[in-house]
Structure 1
Amino acid sequence: MTKIIIVDENDNEIGLKERGTLNPEDIYRVSALWITNSNGEVLLAQRNFNKKHDSGKWGPAVAGTVDDGETYDSNIIKEAEEELGLKNINFKKGIKKERFSNKHKYFGQWYFLIIDRLASEFIIQKEEVEKVQWFSKDEFYNLYLKNPSIFLDSIKKWFDEF
């Protein structure tokens, strides 16, 4: 089974745990890639309905938990290729590792990419992603205000930053 990196409150590695065996006090690492296009739209991904956590919820185009032997950077490169078929991407590192606390405790490293491609042109990994869709920022915001429960809890941070 895959082991994920457990960190302290300063994001220093303190151990490894098998995925699925975390305690509520464990803090881990997550990377997320926010994709926009030249029209100012944001690409959101809907998590597969069979996912154990947050199934069917909308979130960043790509996201993943940092596994043993990975860095935030290597994780987002791997996840972008696996989840959307993106190779040789030139992303911009965004918000520094920031601790989020809701149901889970983790540090999240955000990355940004501007790409002009139809949603149907992404090669999605069906085990992870139900679908991807472009939203104007107004559509995204209004949908969030109307129905926040269809989004990952961390989505609010996106609106706080942009």
Structure 2
Amino acid sequence: MSFKSPLPILPLKALMFEPKSCTYTYLLGDRESREAILIDPVLETAHRDAQLVKELGLRLLYAVNTHCHADHITGSGLLRSLLPGCQSVISRLSGAQADIHIEDGDPIHFGRFALETRASPGHTAGCVTFVLDDHSMAFTGDTLLIRGCGRTDFQQGHRPLSPARDLSMVIWVPGF
């Protein structure tokens, strides 16, 4: 007799915080394949993040960035040297250098899981949100913040609705 768990298969996940830049970094991994991705790595914590990947027995496939600001992209290059085989990923619209440039709708696969890339310009023109394939998690970078919203008034920021060419993608929230 085999028992099938009614619980969904979820990725291994870890949340880290870097206080100097106030950046959250997320590690997602597949428990079976040991493939992992790191979202929004920071230079100051790249050694810590690489050590965690090694301690968990994971193979980091990608260091992915939600947007191009110094506090979000600086860790990718160092992680590539600390963890051979790791590739940097960022939106093509960011204008930043990377091993892989992604666009709206592109998947990022790791093991049995995938993140869907969703364009979310506002904080910068190249901002993206990564949504786990079962829609249980979304990683927004600085587009949405805990108890706040990302700024749109500096460093390539865009007014919230100016880039929304397809209004079916806009969610209207009454009272805001």
TM-score over 0.5 for the pair: no
Give the TM-score normalised by structure 1. Answer: 0.24
Give the TM-score normalised by structure 2. Answer: 0.23
Report which structure shows greater RCO (CA 8 Å, sep ≥6): 1
